Amino acid sequence: MLRDRPRQQAYKKAIELNAKLFKDKIVLDVGCGTGILSAFCAKAGAKLVYAVEASKLAEIALKVMEDNGLTSAVKVFHSKIEDFCLPTSIAKVDIIISEWMGFYLLHEGMLDSVLFARDNFLKPDGLMFPTECSIYVAPCSVPCRFDDWNNVDGVCLKSFSSQLRKQKSNKPEILQISPEQLLHRGAVAHWMNLMDVSRTDLDEIAFEDVLVAEKTGKHQGFCIWFECRFPCEDYEDAIILSTSPNSPITHWKQCVVVLPENACLQIDNNAPISLKMSMKRRSDDIRKYDLEFELLDSYAIEHPVPCNCYMTKCILLKTHLQNMETH
């Protein structure tokens, strides 16, 4: 996190711009790491911060507080949050803050631990930082796994790239996708409110939709990213941490599922791309998820109404609806 400026600055701004929410409050930092978020909270006016860290980084966090003169405001605990107990003088905390996100939001993340903290330590009217999260998906081209190998200093390496894709075909890749590679702005595949989402809600996430291409290009994969929104008095002014291709690059980059070569197509603008996506928690490791995509037949499934794709039935229906609105 320390070298990931976009995510660190998002947290810092969310805390500083909401300093009055932290003023004289009790804060719980779940998985505090080096304690930098705890330090931000203390500097923003928090009365007391409980910084809980399961790893040996807790020792570093304690030294960080000593170096910054914050030992009276920040109390560091070397403990799993599930084993942590608040002092008897503190019934509940006002705010829970954590940088818990994993790849494509949930994979290898620690949201379960944060929800445990919420259920056991947060006041009914308390706040979560962040408070809302969205997962986005968009069709994309992936030239670094296809076209870039067609000519490498005058040598065609298509055979190598084909073998490379086979080796990586059983799991998603973490890549940096440029905005130009997106064939669609991105659809919200899942949204969650951290104030009420349950751990069982996270066992499986499903999404099915018809996405309409917004440009001509090669459909070679699906790109997944996430956004986290922090509490704010004015919803429109809320700080958002985004891992979108249109935002500054973060540690998470983007998650890309590359299509098999026989499924890749050159598509036109307004072409329908029908898909089904599922994220299922693994039984052998609950912090990890299996991610699956299925391409659906756009002619066989129902489209949203209205639909902007180029299929005749959608054009006719959209025109009919527009005519009804004008009469």
One digit per residue, the tens of pLDDT, for the chain of length 327 reads 667 899 999 999 999 999 999 999 999 999 999 999 999 999 999 999 999 999 999 999 999 999 999 999 999 999 999 999 999 999 999 999 999 999 999 999 999 999 999 999 999 999 999 999 999 999 999 988 888 888 899 999 988 888 887 777 778 999 999 999 999 999 999 999 999 999 999 999 999 999 999 999 999 999 999 999 999 877 777 899 999 999 999 999 999 999 998 899 999 999 999 999 999 999 999 999 999 999 999 999 999 999 999 999 999 998 888 888 876
CA distance 37 to 202: 25
* 282 close to 112: Cβ distance less than 8 angstroms: no
Q: Catalytic site residue 227?
A: no
**Is 112 contained in some domain?**
no
Q: What pLDDT shows up at residue 148?
A: 83
Q: Same structural domain for residues 185 and 62?
A: no
pLDDT at res. 231: 92
Choose one of 99, 119, 154: the last residue of a domain: 99
Same domain, 145 and 291: yes
Q: For residue 279, what pLDDT is reported?
A: 96
The enclosing domain of 85 has a CATH number of 3.40.50.150
Give yes or no: residues 172 and 278 share one domain: yes
Catalytic option among 53, 99, 132, 227: 99
How long a stretch of residues is the chain? 327
> What does the pLDDT read at residue 14?
96
What is the reported pLDDT for 170? Answer: 78
Active site residue 294: no
Structural domain harbouring 234: 132-296
* Pair (261, 157) in one structural domain: yes
What DSSP line would sit under 26-76, residue for residue? Answer: EEEEET-TTSHHHHHHHHTT-SEEEEEESSTHHHHHHHHHHHTT-TTTEEE
b/e sequence 243-274, b meaning 16+ C-beta within 10 Å: bbbeeeebebbbbbbbbeeeebeebeebbbbb
Assess whether 136 and 95 both reside in one domain: no
* Dist. CA 298–CA 274, nearest whole Å: 6
Instruction: Flag whether 12 is in a domain.
Output: yes
Same-domain pairing of 193 and 270: yes
Number of domains in the chain: 2
The verdict on residue 124 lying in a domain is no
Amino acid of residue 269: N
Structure tokens at 128: 């979560």
**pLDDT given for residue 2 in this prediction:** 66
Q: Is-contact 216 269, C-beta < 8 A? A: yes
Identified catalytic residue from 82, 108, 180, 292: 108
One domain for residues 31 and 162: no
Strands 132-140, 187-193: pairing kind: antiparallel
**Are 143 and 53 in a shared domain?**
no
Q: In this structure, are 91 and 140 located in the same domain?
A: no
The three-class DSSP label of residue 81 is helix
Strand duo 265-267 + 217-219: pairing: antiparallel
CATH code, 159: 2.70.160.11
AA identity, residue 47: K
